[in-house]
């Protein structure tokens, strides 16, 4: 009887339901909208190559601008102009992958108003894809955002995603990125 009482007590301590497994398909990147980083950036804050001031991201190739109030972001309140003040830069992040598995990169892309055509490279797992966008009639308050996507197949247990400008002409009016995600 005593054993039965102990057994029933233990059963009562167990949760009634079990937690649902984590959903597959969530963003594998940290801080894909660049919201976490330096405080009080105002219009924008220039970040040099090698900077890791934006949580999860490292600045590559040259200077970029982490944009606050200067443009209206596609998601949240921040975005990145891949042309610093001045500079031709990029950002990268390394994340866990499964070798041989296909992943999808999505991001929002715009061009600085009056910049005309601007381009970026999106690179991962030894492959890359070029995207171009035109500033069109976009303004600081209403950039002409386009959602772009690309797929790659992982070649290892970790993959580095790099997004960088293709431009080398006007070093202050660049392509702008926001809301970057990688999903399986």
pLDDT tens readout for residues 93-114: 999 999 999 999 999 999 999 8
pTM: 0.86
Cis peptide preceding 70, ω within 30 of 0: no
> How many whole angstroms separate alpha carbon 12 and alpha carbon 57?
46
> What mean pLDDT is reported for the chain?
89
Q: How far is CA 71 from CA 68, 78, 123, 155, in A?
A: 7, 8, 25, 37
Domains and CATH numbers, the chain: 23-183 (2.60.120.260)
Q: How far is CA 175 from CA 110, 167, 183, in A?
A: 6, 9, 23
pLDDT tens readout for residues 33-42: 999 999 999 9
Q: How far is CA 68 from CA 45, 99, 137, in A?
A: 8, 37, 21
């Amino acid at each position: 009887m005593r054993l039965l009482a102990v057994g029933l007590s233990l059963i009562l301590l167990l949760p009634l339901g079990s937690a649902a497994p984590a959903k597959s398909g969530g963003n594998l990147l940290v801080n894909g909208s660049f919201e976490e980083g330096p405080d009080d950036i105002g219009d924008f804050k220039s970040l040099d190559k090698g900077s890791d001031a934006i949580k999860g991201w490292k600045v590559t190739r040259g200077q970029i601008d982490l944009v606050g109030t200067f443009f209206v972001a596609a998601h949240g309140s921040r975005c990145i102009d891949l042309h610093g003040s001045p500079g031709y830069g990029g950002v990268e992040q390394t994340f866990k992958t499964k070798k041989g598995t296909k992943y999808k990169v999505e991001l929002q892309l715009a061009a600085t108003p009056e910049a005309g055509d601007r381009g970026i490279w999106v690179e991962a797992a030894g492959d890359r894809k070029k995207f171009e966008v035109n500033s069109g009639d976009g303004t600081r308050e209403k950039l002409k955002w386009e959602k772009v996507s690309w797929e790659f197949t992982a070649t290892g247990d970790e993959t580095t995603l790099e997004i960088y400008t293709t431009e080398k002409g006007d070093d202050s009016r660049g392509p702008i990125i926001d809301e970057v995600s990688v999903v399986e």
